[in-house]
Amino acid sequence: MSRPPFSPTEARAARLRVGMSPDQVVAAMAQLGMDRPPEAVHAWESGTVAPSEIELFALADALWCPVQALMARVPSTLREHRLARQFTADRLAQRIGMDPYDYARAEAEHRWFGNDRQTLMLADALGMRVDDLLGLVERGAELVSLLHEAVEGRWKSYVAPLAELARADDRAVAQALRTLHREYSLFNERYMGHLVARSGDVRLKEIAVERARWLRDLPERFRLMAAHGG
């Protein structure tokens, strides 16, 4: 799973607001059962690495601030709403009576597979109206579909609709799509190159798996790139 959205700037600002040193932050996190060295706080605040989900939760508690403040964004996906409520995927799946694999698949594919009871319980757990929850998932599925079409075809025609869905600047979206389209094209070039060269099935399968992983992470990468100007 990719690292959660995280703002190094907001993390440092939150720490300074409560007057804590990195040593004090890790001491507070240790009391919450999360042992990390002070170097971890420096790495997070410098943007060298982002915390994992459980590290993000512990950091927010240690700094006495909402997780959403450290994410520095309004939740726009099922995963982001879950993170803002400090649920791990397994814990939320257990709470709504859903198989963890099915719930994880719903987040990854931006589709909802739950029954009526699970939908009601999910909306309650996330503090949302059912209509808003279903609308969120529907918009996520539309964004994924448009992104796939954009990287596979003429990306320029998808700038406006994707900018509207992601609530991002057109220029930032255009820059993100240009980069992502180029990356996807390289996958196809590599695959066709190995196919023409009659490379072994193992190598072709490796490229296909790598491309599938890239496509799975595409929505989150796009959102981050669009939010930060590509």
The span from the CA of 69 to the CA of 222, in Å, is 21
pLDDT of residue 156: 95
Q: Is 171 helix (H, G, I), strand (E, B) or coil?
A: helix
* Residues 211, 150 within the same domain: yes
* Residues 53, 111 within the same domain: no
Mean pLDDT of the chain: 90
CB 84 within 8 A of CB 67: yes
The span from the CA of 207 to the CA of 213, in Å, is 10
Please enumerate, as own/partner, the contacts of 103-110 that have beta carbons within 8 Å and a separation of 24 or more.
106/78, 106/137, 107/77, 107/78, 107/79, 107/82, 108/216, 109/141, 109/144, 110/77, 110/78, 110/137, 110/140, 110/141, 110/143, 110/144, 110/219
pLDDT exceeds 90 at position 193? no
Q: Is 51 helix (H, G, I), strand (E, B) or coil?
A: coil
Surface-to-core class of residue 41, CB atoms within 10 Å of its CB (0-12 exposed, 13-18 middle, 19+ buried): buried
pLDDT of residue 35: 95
Determine the structural domain holding residue 179 and report its residue range: 144-227
pLDDT of residue 188: 76
pLDDT exceeds 60 at position 196? no
pLDDT exceeds 90 at position 23? yes
What is the number of domains present in the chain?
Answer: 3
CB 96 within 8 A of CB 88: no
pLDDT tens figures, 114-125: 999 999 999 999
Q: What CATH number is given to the structural domain containing 19?
A: 1.10.260.40
Q: Residue 190: pLDDT band by 50, 70, 90 thresholds?
A: confident
Least confidently predicted of 62-76, 143-157, 171-185, 203-217: 203-217
With respect to residue 163, please indicate whether it lies within any of the assigned structural domains: yes
pTM for the model: 0.79
Cα–Cα distance list, 181 to 108, 119, 193, 198, 201 (Å): 20, 35, 18, 26, 26
pLDDT tens figures, 83-138: 999 999 999 999 999 999 999 999 988 889 899 999 999 999 999 999 999 999 99
DSSP state, residue 157: G
Q: Residue 195: pLDDT band by 50, 70, 90 thresholds?
A: low
Residue range 3-29: mean pLDDT, rounded: 95
Q: Residue 148: pLDDT band by 50, 70, 90 thresholds?
A: very high
* Residues 110, 176 within the same domain: no
With respect to residue 119, please indicate whether it lies within any of the assigned structural domains: yes
* Residues 157, 221 within the same domain: yes
Least confidently predicted of 35-39, 40-44, 226-230: 226-230
